[in-house]
Amino acid sequence: MTRILATADSEFRIALRNRWVAIALVLMAVFSLVLSLAGSAPSGGLGADRLSVTVASLTSLAVYLVPLLALLMSFDAVAGEVERGTLPLLLTYPVSRAEVLLGKCLAHVAILALAVAAGYGLAAAVTFAFDDRSVAGLPALWRLGWSSVALGATFLGAGYAVSALARRPSGAAGMAVGLWLGLVVLYDLALLAAVVADNGGWFTTEAFPVALLVNPADAFRLFNLAASGASGVSAGVGGAASVIPVWQSVLPVLLWPVAAMSLAVLAFRRVSP
Partner 1 sequence: MTSTLTISGLTKRFEGVAALTGVSFSVAAGERVALLGHNGAGKSTMMKIILGLIPASDGRVEVCGAAPGSAEARRRVAYLPENAAFHPALTGEEQLRLYLRLRGEDPRGALALLERVGLHAAAKRRIGTYSKGMRQRVGLAQALIGRPRLLVLDEPTSGLDPVSRRDFYALLDALAADGASILLSSHALTEVEARTDRILILSEGRMVAEGSLTELRRSADLPVALNVTPRNGYASEIAANLPGAIEAGGLLHLTCSQSDKLAVFGRIAGLGTKVADLEVLPPSLEDIYSHFSGRHGQ
Binding stretches for partner 1 (CB under 8 A): 2-3, 5-7, 9-10, 13-14, 17-18, 84-86, 88-89, 91-95, 272-273
92/199 with CB nearer partner 1: 92
100/225 with CB nearer partner 1: 100
DSSP, collapsed to helix, strand or coil, labels residue 245 as: coil
Q: How many whole angstroms separate alpha carbon 231 and alpha carbon 21?
A: 33
Least Å distance, CB 68 to partner 1, is 22
Ramachandran category for residue 204: left, alpha or beta (phi over 0 → left; psi -120 to 50 → alpha): alpha
91/118 with CB nearer partner 1: 91
Q: How many whole angstroms separate alpha carbon 96 and alpha carbon 85?
A: 18
Least Å distance, CB 7 to partner 1, is 7
Q: How many whole angstroms separate alpha carbon 153 and alpha carbon 173?
A: 18
Measured over the CA atoms of residue 56, residue 62, residue 65 and residue 68, the dihedral's sign is: negative
80/232 with CB nearer partner 1: 80
Least Å distance, CB 153 to partner 1, is 23
4/261 with CB nearer partner 1: 4
Least Å distance, CB 156 to partner 1, is 19
19/133 with CB nearer partner 1: 19
Contact in structure between 27 and 115 (CB atoms under 8 Å): yes
Least Å distance, CB 84 to partner 1, is 5
Q: How many whole angstroms separate alpha carbon 222 and alpha carbon 43?
A: 21
- CA angle, corner 35, sides to 249 and 241, nearest 5? 20
9/206 with CB nearer partner 1: 9
Least Å distance, CB 26 to partner 1, is 19
Q: Please, what is the angle between helix 97-130 and helix 50-74, to 10°? A: 150
Least Å distance, CB 43 to partner 1, is 45
Query: According to DSSP H, which parts of the chain are helical?
Result: 2-17, 20-38, 50-74, 79-84, 87-91, 97-130, 138-166, 169-180, 187-198, 202, 208-214, 216-228, 237-241, 246-269
